[in-house]
Amino acid sequence: MELHPLRVAEVAPVTDDSVAITFDVPDELRDAYDFAHGQHLVLVREAGGEELRRTYSICAPAGSGTLRVAVKRLEGGAFSSWAHSDLRAGDVLDVMTPGGRFTTALDPAHRRRYAAIAAGSGITPILSIAATILEREPDSEVALAYGNRTSGSIMFLEELEDLKDRHPQRFQLFHVLSREPQPAELLSGRLDRERLARFFDTLLLPDEVDEWFLCGPLELIEGARALLRERGVPGERIHREVFHADRPAPAARAAAARAAAAGDGRAQTEGAATVTAVLGGRASTLSVPRAGETILDALLAVRSDAPYACKGGVCGTCRCRVVAGETRMDLSYALEEAEIDSGFVLACQAHPVSDTVTVDFDQ
């Protein structure tokens, strides 16, 4: 993944508290910014001498040629508030080439049923996924349960209604509103675990769904995933994208490290290990403490090209594979079970355990 300066073509309001940002992509970078439905971009901004990196899902269909994200304003949010008040067409931002694996391979011969659960700004990748599936798989169906407070806070309401009008038999859309009564009781209230369970009993029967896409706050996603797993849905059929998780405080990290050490009887939190990182075809070897600093933080001191954004274990930008030695992670919301089984880790959450470790960012 590489960063390139891209010109903002348009900043357009989506709701009172969200804007869509469209970028101009020069011809020579078209291939680099080609994206799959569900992927995201990392946008970079300098503020007070500090570099802010934030991840935003692409909310346009794959193959459309439109590179667009939507940003919901958070009170006091360093990037999102600025994007609302100060960002203008003509400004130039550093934008990372598309990344993420919140997607699935499509085939016009598929006859599948996909279901998505989203809340608030979690609709952004789902809009891209739904529109792309409906376009590319003419025999497949998509059902979406989308939670918001009121109808005024629904992002991309018109585009969703338009999708429904164009594919009335293949796109089912359930708006769930927590602060506005709806004709059906099931659709009035918070899209919480209890309401999801009722959806899974009635409108979204897990047995009839081939693949699930969950996107929104951590609590909703973890709740939905746990319910689906309880109902026998295999983990590999549940895709999830977490937008935010609070980072454990350093004390919690140290406690986790001590607990890990006590758990298997080795003094793996003491001293430093020798870590070799392969990145862009070039290997760098460095000393990394077993506790405290992560492999990513240590690597950034010598390789400023190391990929990252959130440093909180949610965006997956720092994903790499452990090809030799052993590491442990503080947490991970961005890796599928199969990826962890194949040796992938998040460098921003990883600490060395063995004396020597080799991680490969190019895999």
Ligand X SMILES: Cc1cc2nc3c(=O)[nH]c(=O)nc-3n(C[C@H](O)[C@H](O)[C@H](O)COP(=O)(O)OP(=O)(O)OC[C@H]3O[C@@H](n4cnc5c(N)ncnc54)[C@H](O)[C@@H]3O)c2cc1C
**Residue 8 contacts ligand X per CB under 6 A:** no
**Residue 269 contacts ligand FES per CB under 6 A:** no
113-119/211-216 β-pairing: parallel
First-last CA distance in the chain: 12
How many residues sit close enough to ligand FES to count as binding (CB under 6 A)?
A: 13
From ligand FES, ligand X, none, interface partner of 318 (C-beta below 5 to 8 A by class):
ligand FES
Cα 326 to its chain centre, rounded Å, is: 26
**Binding range to ligand X, per CB under 6 A, among 52-60, 194-202, 256-264, 285-293:** 52-60
Number of Cβ within 10 Å of residue 166's Cβ equals: 12
**Residue 84 contacts ligand FES per CB under 6 A:** no
**Binding range to ligand X, per CB under 6 A, among 68-76, 160-168, 292-300, 347-355:** 68-76
| Rounded least distance, CB 297 to ligand FES, Å | 11
Q: What is the spatial distance between Cα 297 and Cα 350, in angstroms, rounded to a whole number?
A: 10
Number of Cβ within 10 Å of residue 110's Cβ equals: 16
**Residue 317 contacts ligand FES per CB under 6 A:** yes
40-47/141-148 β-pairing: unpaired
In the bound state with ligand X, the residue whose beta carbon lies nearer, of 69 and 187, is 69
| Rounded least distance, CB 279 to ligand FES, Å | 14
**Residue 245 contacts ligand FES per CB under 6 A:** no
Binding-site member from 41, 144, 291, 314 for ligand FES (CB under 6 A): 314
From ligand X, ligand FES, none, interface partner of 121 (C-beta below 5 to 8 A by class):
ligand X
Q: Give the amino acid at 263.
A: G
What DSSP element (H or E) covers 265?
A: none
Looking from the CA of 181 toward its CB, the CA atoms found within 13 Å total 1
Q: What is the spatial distance between Cα 313 and Cα 104, in angstroms, rounded to a whole number?
A: 21
Question: Which residues of this protein are in contact with ligand FES, per CB under 6 A?
Answer: 308-311, 313-318, 334, 346, 348
